[in-house]
Amino acid sequence: MIKGSFGNLGKALSLFLALLILAVPILAQQTSQQQAIIEAEKQAKQDTNKTLWFIIGFFGNVLGLAAGFLLTPNPPATALLGKSSEYAAFYTETYQKKAKSIRGNNALYGCGTSTALWIILYVAVFAAAASTSPYYWY
């Protein structure tokens, strides 16, 4: 019975070690991917001037908004130096998406703010004109 228990324990241990050997490269790859995504998002945030894109959206309106979502800054060349191919792939993809997202969203906020201000101005002017007009508006 004891011999049987040791045998089962041995089998379980062997299976565990086999799974561990198989899992290590998978886990390492996932770590590399995660690291690439984290670094790319961080770099994209550093490289993108939110205030500038808000202003572009504010004054550029639809064109500014389009530019925000379409244009992408260059990634730093050193970011990929000495990095694995998996890292490079995930980094470039994430950097593009994040930079465009930050730019586009801030341009959108600027564009939206500009539009809202125009509407307020229009309503104010219309109201002022209506209050001073000798005609009755029905």
Q: Where along the sequence are the contacts to another protein (CB under 8 A)?
A: 42, 46-49, 52-53, 56, 71-78, 80-85, 88-89, 92, 96
Supply 90's token pair.
């995930």
In the complex with another protein, the residue whose CB is nearer, 46 or 133, is: 46
| Helix-helix angle 2-47:85-132, to 10 degrees | 50
In the complex with another protein, the residue whose CB is nearer, 5 or 74, is: 74
In the complex with another protein, the residue whose CB is nearer, 5 or 85, is: 85
Minimum CB distance to another protein, residue 24 (Å): 17
Minimum CB distance to another protein, residue 55 (Å): 9
In the complex with another protein, the residue whose CB is nearer, 89 or 115, is: 89
Minimum CB distance to another protein, residue 104 (Å): 14
Contact 126, 74 (CB under 8 A): no
Helices (H) and strands (E) in the chain — how many of each?
A: 3, 0
Minimum CB distance to another protein, residue 95 (Å): 9
Q: What is the DSSP string of 19-88?
A: HHHHHHHHHHHHHHHHHHHHHHHHHHHHH--HHHHHHHHHHHHHHHHHHHHH--PPPPGGGGTT--HHHH
